[in-house]
Amino acid sequence: MTKITFVGDIICEEEQLLANKTHNSFNFSSVFENVKHVFLDSDFVVGNLETPIAGGNCKYTNHKWSFNSPIEFAIAVKESGFNLVATANNHCLDRGVDGLFNTMRNLDQINLDYTGTYLSKKESVSTYIKNIKGVKTAFISYTYGTNASFNGNYLKKKEKFTVNLFRRQEKSILQNHILKRILLKIEHTIISGFTLNYNLMELKSKIKKAKMNADLVYVLMHSGGQYNLKPDKWTVNLMGFLFTNKVDAVIGCHPHVVQKVLIKNNNQIGAFSLGNFCSYPGSDSCKMNQSEYSIILHTYLNENSKKIDKATFQISKSVIDLDGKATIHLLYDLINNESDKMIREKLIQDNLLIVNRFSDRHAEELCLKNEYLLENFE
């Protein structure tokens, strides 16, 4: 069977940046070293690159909600085994359109494929399709927004092709104008509805076209409330919209914590959030609701039927080492290597909590495994 692996948010915050600085350069290889073997066992690996790689002239990350990472970070991602990254996310315009273009050129330079953002209008109408061991697989990446109301980087009409958006960019809201905030919220809700949203109609057309040219269609969904344990109503409706349009799987990111996964008819998989794959525990992007934990989701494809035969998942955890670097470990390994009984028991309880949350179950105990089978719990 063909194995395609997905992880959640790949972030490089200021703390991680400083910890991995070596003289006048950076080295992030140790961040992914402990999970590299997981990816080498897969045929194709996908993650959400939630940071521009815009170059040093654009200033590296120096604000907790505005990112830009060195090319060495992207190189470490690639060398750990990633084949594709989603670049349509709320941080893709943290350094403006020029920073976005720099990011894509830098990813091209190191031969790390990306999808969701585009250098040209011609590229934006195409769909990323990869032949993986004889299975033509399409990956479509979209984001709910780009933090435009925060960073002020609004796309001009001629630039709208650069980012796949589920809905139009958010408007700037003056904090002291309460009535204006309410009216804009109402307007945004109405216009972003599934019957009036041009962006979603465009996505529907793109999915239809992808299904004509590929055996399987995965949607990389960037949406949801940050640190919420349950998906918000808009994202639930969005998931339903994607299921209705018969995508094979939806891989969600952005909430920074693990949320539940659904299995619908014909083995459609819908993971609302895989959580923070690469984060810095205790930082502002990794501070609550077990946001240091993440899901590594594996889908196994049948080369004959060209369908998803089964799915499994592992749990990873970001840990700050003695040198101040945050490195990623399999939770199974951490538990088995822990000699302190109290710490080990806490890790076991966390394992149960994350499995229950992702599987949407309420089991009181669980057999410890390196990899869990994703079953139909409906």
Domains of the chain, by residue range, sit at 2-330
Asked if residue 262 lies in contact with residue 225, where contact means CB atoms within 8 angstroms, the answer is: no
Structure tokens at 365: 């105990």
Structure tokens at 62: 């120096």
What is the residue type of 204?
K
Instruction: Give CA–CA dist 239/136, Å, rounded.
Output: 23
**Can you point out the beta strands (E) in the chain?**
2-10, 21-22, 25-26, 44-49, 84-86, 113-115, 128-132, 135-143, 216-222, 249-253, 261-264, 268-271, 276-278, 293-302, 307-320, 326-330, 372-373
Exposure b/e, 12-37, CB count within 10 A at least 16 = b: bbbbbbebbeeeeebbbebbbebbee
What is the residue type of 128?
Y
CATH superfamily of 2-330: Metallo-dependent phosphatases (3.60.21.10)
pTM recorded for the entire structure: 0.93
Asked if residue 284 lies in contact with residue 65, where contact means CB atoms within 8 angstroms, the answer is: yes
Asked if residue 74 lies in contact with residue 26, where contact means CB atoms within 8 angstroms, the answer is: no
Instruction: Give CA–CA dist 272/251, Å, rounded.
Output: 7
pLDDT for residue 171: 73
**Residues lower than pLDDT 50 in the chain:** 174-176, 184, 187-196, 377-378
Structure tokens at 230: 């349950």
Q: Are strands 44-49 and 135-143 parallel, antiparallel or unpaired?
A: unpaired
- Closest by Cα among 55, 143, 47 to 92: 143
Distances in whole angstroms, Cα of residue 261 to Cα of each of 28, 76, 221, 252, 279: 31, 29, 13, 9, 21
pLDDT for residue 48: 98
pLDDT for residue 227: 93
pLDDT for residue 176: 46
pLDDT for residue 264: 86
pLDDT tens track for 199-226: 999 999 999 999 999 999 999 999 999 9
Instruction: Give CA–CA dist 51/93, Å, rounded.
Output: 9
Burial label for 113, CB within 10 Å (0-12, 13-18, 19+), is middle
DSSP string, 101-158: HHHHHHHHHTT-EEESB-SSHHHHTS-EEEEETTEEEEEEEEES---HHHH--PPPGG
pLDDT for residue 64: 82
Contacts 24+ apart (CB under 8 A), 287-292: 287/227, 288/227, 288/257, 289/227, 289/229, 289/257, 290/257, 290/258, 290/350, 290/353, 290/354, 291/227, 291/256, 291/257, 292/317, 292/318, 292/319
Task: Specify the length of the chain in residues.
Answer: 378
300 backbone dihedrals φ, ψ, rounded to 5°? -110, 120
pLDDT for residue 177: 52
Q: Cα 247–252–258 angle (5° rounding)?
A: 140
pLDDT for residue 197: 77
pLDDT tens track for 132-178: 999 999 999 999 999 998 889 999 999 999 999 999 888 765 444 55
Asked if residue 321 lies in contact with residue 327, where contact means CB atoms within 8 angstroms, the answer is: yes
